Structure 1
Amino acid sequence: MRINTTDMQNAFGKYLSLVEKEDIIITKNGKSVAKLIRYNEPDYFLVHEEAKKYQPTKKVSYEEYMELVESSDQRYELIDGEIYLLASPSFTHQVVVNEISGCFYNYFKGKPCRSLTAPLDVRLFGYATKFEEDPNVVQPDVVVICDEDKVNEKNKYEGIPTLAVEVLSPSTKAKDLVAKLNLYMKSGVLEYWVVNLENKSILQYSFSEERDINYPQSYQQGDTIQSTVFPGLEILLPDIFSEI
């Protein structure tokens, strides 16, 4: 589309809407002087969860991550300098999250620890001594925290969860089984559950004080998963998957 400068000045709002569909060439005295094009947010550092292959071009700083988060209504995670755009979870995913969080709520009610569900930013920093040296921000599906004193003045949690739960989906499987497993281990999380909706199973990892993986335990339909950290916290797998 071509328009002159007078038309542009008189109907600027109109052409801002039209530029969503096509570029607009602005003319003056019959000559092209400017071009109005649609602006797209740069995503050169984003890793979309739907993508099966990606080639990240740079490590992202925490400041860049926060700039993106504060300018968007999307949910993101920052893991080892890469930003992940979180896809909307499925109905089945949320049903299972709700079943697990309900069991956790009943167990931890009246106890010093607390279970919470996403979206909740959890700031981790791996083997580093402080967050600024290795910033990571994740949103576990279910998380148990026992250090509420680590909630800062901005009401953000900056502690180390005791137990984290991730419910797999096709777009998050690789991240949850590799990137998050490694991050939780090196950050001092004591226990990690990976819930598989496809075969209705749970893979349980426990981590040593030296931040190594102890022998992982697999639970199938009919089994009862027992926490390695919290005595008496146990859930029948049929109770988790009965509604799906």
Structure 2
Amino acid sequence: MAVMDSKSEFDLTQILNGVSFVTPSPLGIHQQILGKLFFQLQLHLQKENLGKIFISPLDVILEKDVNVVQPDLIYIKNENLSIFHPNGHIKGVPDLLVEIISPGSISRDSVEKFAIYEKYGVSEYWIVFPEQKVIEVFVLKEGKYSLICSTENTNGIISSSAFPNWNLHLDLLFL
């Protein structure tokens, strides 16, 4: 039986503003929501051929040794796919990033990473709050994030400028 080298194959270390830390593995509810979101987006992307979607753990190197993050979900439009290195990481700014809040990550995801993604110019940022069954969608306008959608019920619908002709029914994520 082969043993995986955990340092090179599966590393949950991130760097925010030059400070490295290791995140704990996500909880089951986090993974269920991530899987459902990936599935819904992947169906649309296969049909429309707009770009590629990736899930964590995958390093997004915004600035080497300063800001290296592992968002839960990463979307890159076809015209920007040169930032994806198939045998490595993503080096550059993706078009959309999603963070699913876990216990202990609310400040990191909604304050620290929010500011970092805004600074580097990530066009769209979603924050998913599983306990509240809420998704907040932020779009970059003139260098600052603007909240364009926040819903607090599972019957709501989210749309995204990153995915034309697509809507997400929240009850598909939070059942």
TM-score (norm 1): 0.63
Q: Which runs of 5+ in 1 are unaligned?
A: 1-68, 126-130
Q: CA deviation at 1:116?
A: 0.9
Matches within 5 A, 1:68-87: 74-87=11-24
Shift of 1:219: 1.3
Match among 27, 34, 41 for residue 90 of structure 1: 27
Q: What is the root-mean-square deviation of aligned Cα atoms in Å? A: 2.1
Q: Secondary structure at the match of 1:232?
A: coil
Offset of residue 70 of structure 1: 5.0
Instruction: Return the letter of the residue paired with 2:145.
Output: I
Task: State the aligned residue count.
Answer: 166
How far has the Cα of 1:220 moved from its partner? Answer: 2.1
Q: Deviations over 1:91-139 (max 9, x none)?
A: 11100000000011011115141111111110113xxxxx57xx31111
Q: What are the within-5 Å matches in structure 2 for residues 84-163 of structure 1?
A: 84-109=21-46, 111-125=49-63, 131=64, 135-146=66-77, 147-152=80-85, 154-163=87-96
Task: Tell me: CA distance 1:72–1:100, structure 2 relative to 1, closer, same or farther (3 Å).
Answer: closer
Which of the two has higher C-alpha Rg? Answer: 1
225 and 158 in structure 1: CA distance in 2 versus 1, 3 angstrom threshold: same
Structure 2 CA distance for aligned equivalents of residues 72 and 231 of structure 1:
35
CA contact (8 A) 1:220 1:237 kept: no
Identity %: 28
2:140 to 207, 220, 230: 207
1:1-47 per-position Cα deviation (integer Å, ceiling 9, x unaligned): xxxxxxxxxxxxxxxxxxxxxxxxxxxxxxxxxxxxxxxxxxxxxxx
Q: Is the 8 A contact 2:136 2:149 kept in 1?
A: yes
2:111 corresponds to 1:173: no
Structure 2: give runs of 5+ residues left out of the alignment.
1-5
Structure with higher RCO (Cα < 8 A, 6+ apart): 2
Letter of the aligned partner of 2:75 in structure 1?
V
Partner of 1:38: none
In structure 2, what is the Cα distance between the partners aligned to 1:73 and 1:156?
Answer: 12
The residue number in structure 2 matching 1:220 is 152
> Using a 3 Å threshold, how does the CA distance of structure 1 residues 235 and 189 change in structure 2: closer, same or farther?
same
Q: State the match for 1:185 in structure 2.
A: 118
Deviations 1:39-70 (A, max 9, x none): xxxxxxxxxxxxxxxxxxxxxxxxxxxxxx95
